[in-house]
Amino acid sequence: MTIELLTIPGILLLLGCFILPLLPEKVRSSVFLIFPVAALFFVMTRPDGFSITGSIGNYELILFQIDALSRVFGLIFAITGLTAGIYAWHIKDLSQQVAALGYLGGAMGVIFAGDLFTLIVYWELMAVTSVMLIWARGTEASDKAGIRYLIYHVLGGGLFFAGILWHFTQTGSLAVESLDYEYTVANILMLLGVSVNAAVIPLHTWLSDSYPKATITGAIFMAAFTTKTAVYVMIRMFPGWEILIWFGVAMALYGIFYAVVCKDIREILSYHIISQVGYMVVAIGVGTDMALNGSAAHAYNNLLYKGLMFMAGGAVMYAAGSSRLAELGGLGKKMKWVFALYVVGGFSISGLPLFAGFISKGLIIDGAGYAGYEGVMLLMLLAGVGTFLSVGLKLPYFTWVYDAGNNIDPKPIPGNMYIAMGMSAFLCIFYGVFPNALYVYLPFEMDYNPYTIYHFVEIMQISLGTFVVFWFFREKLKGKLVLVLDLDWFYRKAAPATRTAFVTGVDKFYDRVEEGILSTAGFLSRKFDNPMVWLNPFTDKKNRADSYSPAMEVVLSFIILTVLFFSIVYLT
């Protein structure tokens, strides 16, 4: 049984967290890669329906369970863990290595958990390990962002766990399964908890706040797992919940708006995560087989091209010392390979033909259209325009093409970064050219060809039109240093009053109560040192400490016994 447990990807990766600290620094980065490779092997070799069970008391737990849906997420999680590990190979920081491996282990544990109790344990593990990748940067901004990040995820995990307990008391079931479209208290609590990790508006600000402040390599891992595990859980538990369509549309458009406005590479890419997850949430809300396949496929591809774009942005930050567009520019000749690799990711996320995003974004948009949501389909196409404008054109133009006169002399980039970016770029093109290589792993049967003439022409027309608009208005999008306000402005404005009401106010109240109790206790201890003395009016006041009245003692004793008697009678 012990050996069998070690074949569970989540446990295997967590085992690595205990092994890495025991190894010399020189070999840790290489050994790190063994664990995602081993996890990938177990994901690929386990047949559908295979499971490993355990128990706590009288409750049976399904520690590992694999089917087509969990397999496709397991494959891309393991691949992402491998490429991100290669990208971070030059980093010797043990805390980051352990945190990244634990984070990947938590994510793998969530998608293969067959019961809600096992799932929530891994879910909370993800929060604890991922925040370490923010704090590892060691700046004041990252310290504060990590605290805010943790508050959000403690809140989300608490809501999710409360919903699980409520659901269990009502149904007696801990199965990870599709829930009826009913707004019960349990369902709402679970959906809210999952929505925090999915960065559903207005519960999204933790993402755009924290990801840009993580370490360069830590952001690669963070861009991959938290939101995509939430998408997986939504596909499992909330397919066909129509309310998700409209929240997904809001995410897609909201993220695009901020991506156009922001002037920092990692901020732009962070808001694009919100937008791209919005596509997936829309598809989950539509709930048809085609749409759910689109959500899974887009999550798969998103890890490839979004990881690639964060890698390229991290390479710029590593070499040039900044990720702000106003401080960059003219890097095309000095960092031409990073530029070329980023363009592959930018074209992929924009859904251009021959790139990975084309084969998954089309599934979602067409899935919405075939299900009768024509308005949603048009809004998704509009979001696609904003995607190409912001990360397909604006970001690379002002980073590599436009010369702002900053005269940057970038330092050399480690070779392992190029290897990781090259692997991701290859897969983005491979799946774009051979879509069936991904479609074969999707969980539901379908017959879909993304390369129809209509679809191809439609996307090319939209993309060319977007390019023309960008070219004429590119000066308006120039990288100026600006402070972008999001919904967390309201939270932060309310923070002083909230802190006064619930922290400092409560603290002062308990201080006063404590002082009152101590003062009262001191007073009573002095007075009751010899109560017969100060209660006896016949005592000689000058010698009260030495004398008392026997008559008064009898009276007081009678009173005390009477009170005790009636108290006992009343209580019984």
pLDDT tens, position by position, 157-189 = 999 999 999 999 999 899 999 998 999 999 999
Distances in Å between the Cα of 510 and the Cα atoms of 497, 521, 534 are 18, 16, 32
Confirm if 148 and 210 have CB atoms less than 8 A apart: yes
DSSP 3-state assignment of 60? strand
Choose among 425, 428, 341, 420: nearest CA to 85: 420
Choose among 384, 218, 406, 420: nearest CA to 312: 420
Choose among 257, 280, 259, 254: nearest CA to 270: 259
Predicted confidence band of residue 288 (pLDDT cuts 50, 70, 90): very high
pLDDT computed for residue 522 by the predictor: 76
pLDDT computed for residue 545 by the predictor: 45
| Side chain identity at residue 188, one-letter code | I
Q: Where are the alpha helices (DSSP H) in 215-288?
A: 216-237, 243-261, 265-286
Better-scored residue on pLDDT, 109 or 564: 109
Instruction: Compute the average pLDDT of residues 51-67.
Output: 87
Residues belonging to the chain:
572
User: Which three-class secondary structure string do you get for 485-534?
Assistant: CCCHHHHHHHHHHHHHHHHHHHHHHHHHHHHHHHHHHHHHHHHCCCHHHH
pTM: 0.86
Tokens at residue 450, please?
């993304």
How many Cβ atoms from other residues are within 10 Å of residue 331's Cβ?
Answer: 22
pLDDT computed for residue 548 by the predictor: 46
Residue 544: pLDDT over 70: no
Q: What percent of the chain has pLDDT over 70?
A: 88
pLDDT computed for residue 556 by the predictor: 57
Predicted confidence band of residue 408 (pLDDT cuts 50, 70, 90): confident
pLDDT computed for residue 55 by the predictor: 82
How many Cβ atoms from other residues are within 10 Å of residue 312's Cβ?
Answer: 31
| Side chain identity at residue 294, one-letter code | G
Please tell me the distance from the alpha carbon of residue 51 to that of residue 60, in angstroms, as a whole number.
12
Choose among 259, 274, 273, 275: nearest CA to 484: 259
Residue 547: pLDDT over 50: no
Burial 58-87 (b: 16+ CB within 10 A, else e): eeebbbbbbeebbbbbbbbbbbbbbbbbbb
Instruction: Compute the average pLDDT of residues 72-98.
Output: 95
DSSP letters spanning 343-394:
HHHHHHHTT-TTSHHHHHHHHHHHHHHHTT-HHHHHHHHHHHHHHIIIIIII
Please tell me the distance from the alpha carbon of residue 230 to that of residue 427, in angstroms, as a whole number.
24
Q: Where are the alpha helices (DSSP H) in 55-93?
A: 68-87
In tens, the pLDDT along 189-203 reads 999 999 999 999 999
Instruction: Compute the average pLDDT of residues 482-496.
Output: 69
Least reliable range by pLDDT among 70-79, 111-120, 146-155, 556-565: 556-565
Please tell me the distance from the alpha carbon of residue 34 to that of residue 57, in angstroms, as a whole number.
35
pLDDT computed for residue 465 by the predictor: 92
Residue 431: pLDDT over 70: yes
DSSP 3-state assignment of 480? coil
Indicate the pairing of strand 51-56 with strand 59-65. antiparallel
Better-scored residue on pLDDT, 354 or 551: 354
Tokens at residue 390, please?
């912001």
Distances in Å between the Cα of 199 and the Cα atoms of 244, 350, 377 are 13, 21, 21
Tokens at residue 21, please?
């600290």
In tens, the pLDDT along 239-277 reads 999 999 999 999 999 999 888 888 899 999 999 999 999
